[in-house]
Amino acid sequence: MLPDADLLQSLATPAAIIDAGRIRRNIARMQDCVSALSARFRPHVKISKCLPVLCAQLATGATGVTVSTLLEAEQCFAVAVSDILYAVGTAPQHLPRVLALRRRSYSLNIITDNASTARMIAEFGPSHPYEKNPASVATREPDRF
């Protein structure tokens, strides 16, 4: 339901007008669909760019979140999201920042689609000891690694 015309006229633009009831229904419907498939739902932060929406998704059953930037990961950790996938091929220069977040007891998983970067990630680990959740390498093409 839209607010009254006077309120709409008084808003500075651009302005987002959000139907909270519709969002809650859509979140529940999406979670129901994923649950019916016995799958886990990990929404991408960039879809809503709205931490309250993300928190509602988690409260409804999402098992973690997906981010495109380490800043998004930090913002999610700030609101107690503890299971995050950084879904961009991780460049070696970002590894110290990733490690700093993991050392704060956050579960931040990284990916890469490049064998040479995977080697750099694997080499980074032993020179930066971290006891919890040790790194592992999974690949569909082990002979290429």
Q: What is the pLDDT of residues 83-96, one digit of tens each?
A: 899 998 888 889 99
Q: What is the pLDDT of residues 60-75, one digit of tens each?
A: 999 899 999 999 998 8
- CA 65, distance to chain mean position in Å, is 3
Question: How would you write the pLDDT of the chain (145 residues) with one tens digit per residue?
Answer: 556 778 888 888 888 888 889 999 999 999 999 999 999 999 998 877 888 888 899 999 998 999 999 999 988 888 888 889 999 888 888 999 988 888 876 788 888 888 888 888 888 877 776 655 445 545 455 454 4
Token pair for residue 36?
A: 């019916």
Strand order in the sheet with 107-111: 65-67, 83-89, 107-111
Buried b (16+ CB within 10 A) or exposed e, 4-24: eeeeeeeeeeeeeeeeeeebe
Tell me whether residue 3 is exposed, middle or buried, using C-beta atoms within 10 angstroms of its C-beta: 0 to 12, 13 to 18, 19 or more: exposed
Domains of the chain: 18-134 (3.20.20.10)
Using alpha carbons only, what angle is made at residue 87 by residues 109 and 107, rounded to the nearest 5 degrees? Answer: 20
Q: What interhelical angle do 115-127 and 95-103 show, nearest 10?
A: 50
Closest CA to 95 of 124, 65, 136: 124
pTM of the predicted model over 0.85: no
Give residue 8's pLDDT. Answer: 81
